[in-house]
């Protein structure tokens, strides 16, 4: 099992719009393709920070789900063009995590 912790910086004044886009479009679409979204968060003291976490069974699962999502026409035509309006892609930080044996998130 592996996780991705994804940290995004939204453009000024765009965080609430980004959260709506994530919760109404991106997360439901990715879940429909089999992605497991563990959580979605905003930071209390940083008005541009958005964090979310996804879980994968293993690397093969991650690769297959990436293809299902990011190579789809819906992603390429509907989602991807809107992303740069809302977040700063250059500031995306993705951390891959492996749960420890006693982690409650598995």
pLDDT tens across 60-83, in order? Answer: 999 999 999 999 999 999 999 999
Long-range contacts of 34-41 (CB under 8 A, 24+ apart): 34/65, 34/68, 35/65, 35/69, 38/3, 38/105
Question: Is pLDDT of 106 > 90?
Answer: no
At the top level of CATH, the class of 2-97 is: alpha beta
pTM, two decimal places? 0.93
For residue 58, the Cα-to-chain-centroid distance in whole angstroms is 17
Q: pLDDT tens digits, residue range 21-65?
A: 999 999 999 999 999 999 999 999 999 999 999 999 999 999 999
Taking alpha carbons only, the member of 40, 13, 11 closest to residue 25 is 40
Sorted by where each begins, the domain ranges of the chain are 2-97
Using CA atoms of 65, 67, 68, 74 in order, give the dihedral in degrees to the nearest 10: 130
The tokens for 56 are: 């994968």
The chain-wide mean pLDDT, for the chain, equals 97
Tell me what pLDDT residue 20 has: 98
């Amino acid at each position: 099992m592996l996780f991705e912790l994804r940290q995004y910086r939204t453009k000024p004044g765009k965080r609430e719009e980004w959260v709506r886009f994530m919760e109404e479009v991106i997360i439901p679409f990715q879940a429909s393709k089999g992605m497991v979204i563990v959580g979605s968060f905003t930071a209390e003291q940083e008005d541009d920070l958005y964090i979310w976490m996804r879980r994968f069974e293993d690397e093969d699962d991650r690769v297959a789900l990436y293809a299902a999502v990011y190579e789809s026409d819906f992603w390429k035509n509907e989602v991807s063009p809107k992303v740069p309006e809302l977040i700063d892609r250059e500031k995306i930080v993705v951390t891959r995590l492996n749960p420890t044996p006693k982690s409650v998130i598995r």
